[in-house]
Structure 1
Amino acid sequence: MTDTTKPIINPRDLELDHWTQGSFFESRDAAFGALLGLKDLGIGYGEVPPGKSGCPFHNHHVEEELFIILEGEGTYRLGDKRHAVGPGDILGAPAGGPETAHHLVNTGTVPLKYLSISTMAATEICEYPDSGKFLAKTRGPGGERRFRFIGRSGGAVDYWDGEPGA
């Protein structure tokens, strides 16, 4: 433990970041694994308003995620299925292809509050099946961002493209 880490955190004490994107995405959330001294496990707390989602439908190729519903009701979209969820439900999002793509939508009348827990891979590829995007990213020691690229496969080039003498 360092001077900036704590052994215990209560979500009500977190300073939440409020953001919106378009008409469907909105959340008040905070990541706090590092505050607990964790390096390989990410932990977040989120509050999503009724009718909204905190992230696009996506799948991870390396990282696994777990969600614990604390308050509210929603729909957990996992692959091609949808599941009603509520307080006490624990949701798994294993690494894989589009069959493991997932996101939560608040279908209730009060904020959907949940914890998210994930492995913190040094290298990750995410896909977004609804929009055809992908994300490639790497993290260095301590979790700092080293590389991050979001794009679509339609912009692919040959392996040798642009190489001197190729």
Structure 2
Amino acid sequence: MKRIVNVADIELQPFPPGMGPTGETAERYEARMGRISVQLGAQQLGYNVTAVPPGKRAFPFHNHRVNEEMFFVLEGSGEVRIGNEKHPIRQGDIIACPPGGPENAHQIINTGSGELRYLAVSSKLSPEICEYPDTHKYGILGEFGPDAEGKPQVIRILTRQGDNVDYWEGE
């Protein structure tokens, strides 16, 4: 298996159909990503290169309760929201996003005039809980390896606090 790739050789793709922003959301969010960890056989870390056009962001403001992320700005400039603060970022900056509550929520925004590219690295612990402080949503994602037929087993739930069903409902 290939263990080395040059960043210049990473092919960037838009969000898969049905996974990207739509409607008014598409006015604020856009990104192309090159997922590379699987290609290189990584098991404990996920990594990709993300390219964001001017005025856009790749993902909503969020925090991880389980996984840690790190971003290395390859080119361009912008800002990162972390908790209640905003910080300018530029080529060469390294951004640490440890797991935790809303004080660790983060979002990278391209406020520059050219494309913003960064390397994203994260741990891959499962299950994961993400919170979205701006919209009061949370998500639970579990990836459990292939089933007997080789298909990936994934649980993905996105909801708001209080929208839960009772534990005993329907039992």
Indicate whether the TM-score tops 0.5: yes
After superposition, what is the alpha-carbon deviation per residue over 1:19-46, rounded to whole angstroms, capped at 9, x for unaligned? 4622000011121111111111000101
Q: Percent identity?
A: 42
In 2, Cα distance between equivalents of 1:117 and 1:42? 6
> Are 2:108 and 1:104 equivalent residues in the alignment?
yes
The residue identity in structure 1 corresponding to 2:78 is: G
Structure 1 vs Structure 2 CA RMSD? 1.4
**Uncovered stretches (5+) of structure 2, i.e. residues with no partner:** 147-151
Q: TM-score, normalised by structure 1?
A: 0.90
Q: Which residue of 2 aligns with 1:46?
A: 50
**Uncovered stretches (5+) of structure 1, i.e. residues with no partner:** none
Q: Find the residue that maps to 2:39 and give its secondary structure.
A: helix
Which of 63-72 and 8-17 deviates more?
8-17
The residue identity in structure 2 corresponding to 1:91 is: I
In 2, Cα distance between equivalents of 1:23 and 1:79? 23
Q: Find the residue that maps to 1:36 and give its secondary structure.
A: coil
Q: CA deviation at 1:14?
A: 2.0
The residue identity in structure 2 corresponding to 1:160 is: W
Q: Which residue of 1 aligns with 2:154?
A: 146
> Are 2:20 and 1:12 equivalent residues in the alignment?
no
Q: TM-score, normalised by structure 2?
A: 0.88
Q: CA deviation at 1:11?
A: 2.5
Q: Find the residue that maps to 2:154 and give its secondary structure.
A: strand
In 2, Cα distance between equivalents of 1:130 and 1:145? 29
Q: CA deviation at 1:62?
A: 0.1
Q: Which residue of 2 aligns with 1:35?
A: 39
Shift in CA distance, 145/64, structure 1 to aligned 2, threshold 3 Å: farther
Q: Which residue of 2 aligns with 1:60?
A: 64
